[in-house]
Structure 1
Amino acid sequence: MDMILVRSIFTLVCLCVFVGIVAWAFKRGNKAQFEEAGRLPLSED
């Protein structure tokens, strides 16, 4: 395998990971968890 092929595969893997993270972040089921986590700094103990 030459370096061009290795770099191409690495770029493709990174793209898939990025798309997966974006899809997970915008999933509707996670909205409540993210809103709760966003309010944590403002809550009093």
Structure 2
Amino acid sequence: MDITLLRVIATVVSFVTFVSIWAWAWKRSNRARFEQDGLIPFQQD
């Protein structure tokens, strides 16, 4: 196995991981949760 092939595999795996996280974050079903979580710093104890 050549180092270039390992770099290509690492790049592809990283890209697939990035796209998966991006798709999960932009799902409509997660919107309410993220909006609620975004207000946490502004809530007072």
Same fold by TM-score greater than 0.5: yes
Q: Which residue of 1 aligns with 2:20?
A: 20
Q: Which residue of 2 aligns with 1:10?
A: 10
Q: Which structure 2 residues correspond to residues 21-36 of structure 1 after superposition, within 5 A?
A: 21-36=21-36
Structure 1 residue 40 and structure 2 residue 44: aligned?
Answer: no
Aligned length: 45
Structure-2-length-normalised TM-score: 0.93
Identity among equivalent positions (%) equals: 49
**Aligned counterparts of 2:44 and 2:9: Cα–Cα separation in 1:** 48
Q: CA deviation at 1:38?
A: 0.6
**Aligned counterparts of 1:33 and 1:21: Cα–Cα separation in 2:** 16
**Aligned counterparts of 2:4 and 2:44: Cα–Cα separation in 1:** 54
Q: Report the 3-state secondary structure (helix = DSSP H, G, I; strand = E; otherwise coil) of the residue aligned with 1:31.
A: helix
In structure 1, list runs of 5 or more residues that go unmatched: none
